Amino acid sequence: MTGDPFLDSLATALGGQAAAALGAAGAAALGKVRDLVRRRSEQDPQTQAALEAAERPDAGQEQISALAERLDQACAEDPEFSDELRREGEPVHSEIIASNNVTNVNHGTVQNLVQTREINGGITFN
């Protein structure tokens, strides 16, 4: 990821990893962000490729991170895009942060999988 929580949360939402956590306002804002990034993608094949990879049903953390990094680069290259992305994406970021959700994604076969916020004590798998 980029180290910028804002861009990381937008990439996560664009990739579908946090969309379920969004309310109506966040979902509407996500649509605007997606449109903005797609418009940017028309002149920027790297952004388009990163967005398409992150939107795939089998996308994982690697694709989400690549999209976040590409958004970071696009923002550095184009201050107007950066300003608009931050303005349109603020409701998405705010909802993700406010929901305090943790999103785990598993692709493949696992024997034991635990999703939890906090464990006080131990876990034993037999």
**65 in a domain, yes or no?**
yes
For residue 108, what pLDDT is reported?
64
CA distances from 24 to 6, 27, 29, 85, 97 (A): 19, 5, 9, 19, 15
**67 in a domain, yes or no?**
yes
In the predicted structure, residue 21 carries a pLDDT above the cut 70:
no
Distance from the first to the final alpha carbon of the chain: 35
For residue 60, what pLDDT is reported?
87
> Measured over all CA atoms, what is the biggest interatomic distance in the chain, rounded to whole angstroms?
55
For residue 34, what pLDDT is reported?
93
The whole domain housing 70 covers 5-99
For residue 102, what pLDDT is reported?
52
**114 in a domain, yes or no?**
no
**115 in a domain, yes or no?**
no
Residue that the structure tokens 């876990």 belong to? 123
For residue 123, what pLDDT is reported?
83
Give the number of domains in the chain: 1
Spatial separation of the C-alpha atoms in residues 26 and 122, rounded to whole Å: 36
State pLDDT tens for residues 32-62: 999 999 999 998 999 999 999 999 988 888 9
For residue 12, what pLDDT is reported?
86
State pLDDT tens for residues 72-122: 999 999 999 999 999 999 988 888 777 655 555 555 677 777 766 677 888
**120 in a domain, yes or no?**
no
For residue 22, what pLDDT is reported?
75
